[in-house]
Amino acid sequence: MSPGVDRAARWGTAELARAQVPSPAVDAEHLLAHATGRDVGELRRERLLGRDIDEATLTAYRSLVERRAARVPLQHLTGTAHFAGLDLSVGPGVFTPRPETETLLNLALGDLEGVAHPVVLDLCTGSGALALAVAAARPDARVGAVELSPQAHRYAATNLAAHPAGRSVELRLGRAQEAFPELCDSVDVITCNPPYIPPDAEPVDPEAREHDPELALYGGGVDGLEVPRQIAGWALRLLRPGGVLLMEHADAQGESLPAALRELGFADVADHPDLGGRPRVSRGARP
């Protein structure tokens, strides 16, 4: 007799907990749902009903659990990341969007309130998550995005093409520090989740350390802020007077990045915590 769905899920949870994977029960369910071709809601109903699982699916599921226990990111195994209600294609070569980046998105949408037909740029767009989320929330906006990595750029192009709102986003391949020069002095809001980890530091979790591309992680300079400073300097030229830059940063940069923005000439600089209360996004306006 084939094992039940519930038994398989409990086995996966135990294996992932033994490997100290965060949220083992959630990950086990998502992997089993992926292996069975169902969504998590359907899977949970099958668990309650005591449904069985065939051997071929069980073998595929066990392989997924083993890879997740080796700290391959869940999103790489399923091929999908969820961000702001959107399903995004992700995998090796592109930074996996994190829930804390929704803080940056919410701040951007707040700054866009009352601005008709705004111009928005997302610099270092990665998977295209922020650009797509802004375009979905503000159909009247002109949204542009730029990514340096050709591999990440391909993921962004795929994600933007897969969603109706994303098809209006202008995606470019190149350096954020010189992107969209024709929009100088006219951009209302710039969002940016740049590389910012110092060269002598490492991400705490092995998923980021071993699987996120280095280009998306390390910001250069002794403090990790060399690239963020360069991008912020270019952003000052892109923004209209009163336009806003919103830039994500590491927990430890809640004072150093705002200080750098003030030195560059930004006004009304403030830092904002994520939902966990950790310093996460610096905001500055062009005077």
State the pLDDT at residue 255: 96
State the pLDDT at residue 49: 73
Q: What is the pLDDT of residues 39-89, one digit of tens each?
A: 888 888 877 777 888 899 899 999 999 999 999 999 999 999 999 999 999
Which CATH homologous superfamily contains domain 80-285? Vaccinia Virus protein VP39 (3.40.50.150)
pLDDT of residue 247 exceeding 70, the answer is: yes
Tokens read off for 180: 């969209």
Q: What is the pLDDT of residues 152-206, one digit of tens each?
A: 999 999 999 999 999 999 999 999 999 999 999 999 999 999 998 887 776 667 8
194 annotated as a binding-site residue: yes
**Contact present, 147 and 125 (Cβ < 8 Å):** yes
Using DSSP, state whether 271 is helix, strand or coil. strand
Q: Which residues are known catalytic residues?
A: 95, 193-194
Mean pLDDT (whole number) for 16-38: 93
Cα radius of gyration rounded to whole Å, the chain: 21
State the pLDDT at residue 203: 60
What's 172's DSSP letter? E
pLDDT over 90 for what percent of the chain? Answer: 78
Q: How many CB atoms lie within 10 A of CB 54?
A: 11
**Contact present, 32 and 9 (Cβ < 8 Å):** yes
Tokens read off for 15: 């294996």
**Contact present, 148 and 218 (Cβ < 8 Å):** no
pLDDT of residue 149 exceeding 80, the answer is: yes
Instruction: Tell me the pLDDT band of 1, cut-offs 50, 70 and 90.
Output: very low
Tokens read off for 80: 């999908």
195 annotated as a binding-site residue: yes
Q: What is the pLDDT of residues 200-237, one digit of tens each?
A: 776 667 887 878 888 887 778 888 899 999 999 999 99
**44/168 Cα distance (integer angstroms):** 37
Mean pLDDT (whole number) for 14-39: 93
- Its pTM stands at 0.90
pLDDT of residue 3 exceeding 70, the answer is: no
pLDDT, averaged across the chain:
93
pLDDT over 70 for what percent of the chain? Answer: 98
- DSSP assignments along 221-248, one per residue: STTS-HHHHHHHHHHHHHEEEEEEEEEE
State the pLDDT at residue 51: 80
218 annotated as a binding-site residue: no
